[in-house]
Structure 1
Amino acid sequence: MHIAVVGLSHRTAPVEVRERLSIPEQTIESSLNALKGDDEVIEASILSTCNRLEIYALLRHPDQGLDAVGEFLSRHSGLGIDELTPHLFTYHHRDAVNHLLRVAAGLDSLVLGEGQILSQVKRMVRLGQEHRSIGPILNRLLTQAVSTGKRVRSETNLGTGAVSISSAAVELAQLKVGQARGLDALVSLDQEQVAVVGAGRMSRLLIQHLKAKGCAGVVLLNRTIETARRLAADFPDLPVQVRPLSDLDQCLSTCSLIFTSTAADEPLIDAARLQPLNRRASLRLIDIGVPRNISADVEQIEGVDAFDVDDLQEVVNRNQESRRQIAEEAEGLLAEESRLFLEWWDGLEAVPTINRLRTHLEAIREQELQKAFSRMGPDFSARERKVVEALSKGIINKILHTPVTNLRAAQPRPQRHQALRVVEELFALEQPPEA
């Protein structure tokens, strides 16, 4: 068996490719079933965010298993393997484990140390468990990744003051407004007419940061009005005007700054929608949705500037340097956690031999116990039988304890393989049938 991760991220693929690979939660089950439908894939889990799509898998054979994952990605995206390959990364065994731990800790994020990725890894674990696509190996690895992410945040200052994608989007707006005023600085948004499209988790964070950056009020548009009203109610100190998504054209005509963060599969705003609107002022559109909510063709409209998640790098670079030293501290914790998982994983090699040894000794115990009982005759009480049986089991467990502990212990593979062969030969253990 072989652990691998195949994926792409903001580091390897532009947003127009990432949106083709995005897998929304409502299609996760069918995607997991498609992966597990291949005999080469034993366990599988999917991490899909605005900045990455990663498939973690336990494979029977590395090459054939990776081919199966690649074919799934090609079918899902509609892109040929040759088109996908330049954007994909693949990690195996130790490197795959290390990569997952770095992702959960926020060390591989666009925004170093951002906290939202940990909740997305938790969701990956939950969906894998609910849809029964992960078994004991990936369940152990993913669960340990979550605990590692928590440990990094509790034992280092990596999460302290860390910006999220939403806060970076707000800072980008501040920077662009400042640049329009001839300033190379972040400015208050108190003079901007601001709208937020979408009422999910990212929009909640957007409103939270808009309030902190001086925004005087927000228009919140959403397909489901009741959801938007519940979100608005959480900000009693900020005027939030709730409107249906059908009022989007009016907001595009009157607002100067609009953020979009929805789960729509197709762009909500494009050039054809903007062209007929009677606008009097410039408009900045900031899209943090993947797939994108704003079409790239809006840039051809005079007075309209559009930005997506890939444009956040300008803001992110202003915040990264101060966090790199803390990230180095976190890497030490990750190395320890990686070692613990790999020791457990390597120890699994000994399990079949240990089980056969236990079965072999148990059969001898049962056989000798029955001989003893037959010699005791009918005068041997049920209570005495239980005492003798417990004694025999205790002896077997004592005998097995040291060799089992040593076989499971961390050691180089050649030494472990040699020890397993010695045990199998000493006790004449039968070899398991080929899978």
Structure 2
Amino acid sequence: MHIAVVGLSHRTAPVEIRERLSIAEQSMEDSLQRLRADEQVLEASILSTCNRLEIYTLLRNPEQGVSAVGSFLSQHSGLELSELMPHLFAYHHEEAIGHLMRVAAGLDSLVLGEGQILSQVKKMYRLGQEHRSIGPILNRLLNQAVSTGKRVRSETNLGTGAVSISSAAVELAQLKVGQARGIDDLVPLDQEQIAVVGAGRMARLLLQHLQAKGASGVVLLNRTVSRAEEMAADFPALPVQCRPLTDLNHCLSTCSLVFTSTGADDPIITAERLGQLNRRSSLMLVDIGVPRNISADVSELSGIAAYDVDDLQEVVARNQEARREIAAEAEGMLQQEGQQFIEWWDGLEAVPVANRLRMQLESFREQELQKALSRMGPDLSARERKVVEALSKGIINKILHGPVTKLRAPQPRQQRHQAMKVVQDLFDLDDLQS
């Protein structure tokens, strides 16, 4: 068996590729079932965010298994494998384990130390359990990844004041508004007419950061107005008007700054739509949805400035340097946590030998117990029989405890293999290593 992760991220693929591979939660069960249908994939879990799509697997054969995952990604995205390959990465065993730990800790994020990724790893773990696509190996690995993410955030200052994708989007707007005014710095957004499209987690964070940056008011649009109103109630210091998504054209005509963060599969703002509107002289669009909510052709229109998640690098770089020293401290914890899992995984090699040893000793115990009981005669009570049987089981358990504990204890692989060979030879067990 072999642990591997295959995927892409903001480090390897532009947003136009990432959005083709995005998997919505309502499609997750079907995707996991399709992966598990391949005989090479023993366990599978999927991490799908705006900046990454990663598939963690337990495989029978590493080459054939990775090939099966690649075929799934090609079919899902509608892209030829030759188009995908330049953007994909594949990590195996220790590298895959280390990568997951870094992801959960926020060290592989666009925004170093962001907190949202940990909740997304938790969600991957939960969906894997709900859809029964993970077994004992990935269950243990994902659980430890979540614990590692929590540990890094509690034992370092990496998560203190960490910016999110949403806050980076607000800072990008501040920077671009400032540049439009001839100021090469972040400026307040109190003079902007702002709209936020969507009422999910990212939209909530947008409202939080807009409130902190002194926005004078926001129009919040959503298909379900009641959901938008529930969210707006959590921001009493920020005047929020809640409107249905059908008012989008009006907002595009009257607002100067529009953020989009919806789960729509296709763009909701296109050049054709904007071209039909009587809009103000300039409009800034900031899209943090993946798949994108704003089509790429809108930038061709006069007076329109459009940005997506890949454009956030400009402001993210301003905030990263102060966090790199803390990240270096966290790396040591990740190595420790990764090694702990590898030691547990290596210890599983000894399980077949330990089980075969137990089966053999249990067979001897049963044979000798029956001989002893037959010699004791028919006058032995049921209680006395149970006492004798419990005695024999206790002796076997005592004999097994030492060898099994030593076989599974953390140790170099070569040393464990030698110990397994000794046990096999001493007890004349079948050769279980392959």
Under TM normalisation by the shorter chain, which class is it?
over 0.9
Q: CA deviation at 1:237?
A: 2.1
Q: CA deviation at 1:73?
A: 0.4
Aligned to 2:244: 244
Aligned to 1:107: 107
Q: CA deviation at 1:427?
A: 1.1
TM-score normalised over the length of structure 2: 0.98
Aligned to 1:226: 226
* Distance in 2 of aligned mates of 1:242 and 1:388: 76
Gaps of 5+ in 2: none
Decide whether the 8 Å contact of 2:256 with 2:280 is kept in 1: no
Q: CA deviation at 1:275?
A: 0.9
Aligned to 1:402: 402
1:174 equivalenced with 2:206 (yes/no)? no
Decide whether the 8 Å contact of 2:353 with 2:432 is kept in 1: no
Aligned to 2:129: 129
Q: CA deviation at 1:141?
A: 0.3
For 1:110, the aligned partner's letter is L
CA deviations on 1:300-342 (whole Å, 9 max, x unpaired) are 1111100000000001000000000000110111011001100
Aligned to 2:56: 56
Decide whether the 8 Å contact of 2:5 with 2:56 is kept in 1: yes
Aligned to 2:261: 261
* Distance in 1 of aligned mates of 2:410 and 2:238: 57
CA deviations on 1:24-51 (whole Å, 9 max, x unpaired) are 1111111101100100100000000000
Kindly tell me: are residues 347 and 433 of structure 1, through their superposed partners in 2, closer, same or farther at Cα, counting changes over 3 Å?
Answer: closer
* Distance in 1 of aligned mates of 2:71 and 2:222: 36
Aligned residue runs from structure 1 range 131-170, under 5 A: 131-170=131-170
Q: CA deviation at 1:384?
A: 2.2
For 1:125, the aligned partner's letter is Y
CA deviations on 1:357-376 (whole Å, 9 max, x unpaired) are 01111111111111111111
Aligned to 2:65: 65
Q: CA deviation at 1:388?
A: 2.0
Aligned to 1:387: 387
Q: CA deviation at 1:430?
A: 3.2
Q: CA deviation at 1:431?
A: 4.7
Q: CA deviation at 1:277?
A: 1.3
For 1:422, the aligned partner's letter is V
* Distance in 2 of aligned mates of 1:275 and 1:264: 21
* Distance in 2 of aligned mates of 1:18 and 1:324: 26
Aligned to 2:201: 201
* Distance in 2 of aligned mates of 1:427 and 1:276: 83
CA deviations on 1:382-405 (whole Å, 9 max, x unpaired) are 222222222221111111111111
* Distance in 2 of aligned mates of 1:226 and 1:304: 31
Secondary structure of the residue aligned to 1:286 is strand
What percent identity do the matched residue pairs reach? Answer: 76
Secondary structure of the residue aligned to 1:19 is helix
1:357 equivalenced with 2:327 (yes/no)? no
Kindly tell me: are residues 274 and 14 of structure 1, through their superposed partners in 2, closer, same or farther at Cα, counting changes over 3 Å?
Answer: same
1:188 equivalenced with 2:227 (yes/no)? no
For 2:189, the aligned partner's letter is L
Aligned to 1:314: 314
* Distance in 2 of aligned mates of 1:336 and 1:381: 55
Q: CA deviation at 1:418?
A: 2.3
* Distance in 2 of aligned mates of 1:231 and 1:280: 28
* Distance in 1 of aligned mates of 2:334 and 2:399: 36
Aligned to 1:81: 81
Aligned to 1:4: 4
* Distance in 2 of aligned mates of 1:381 and 1:303: 96
CA RMSD of superposed structures (Å): 1.2
* Distance in 1 of aligned mates of 2:352 and 2:340: 21
Aligned to 1:294: 294
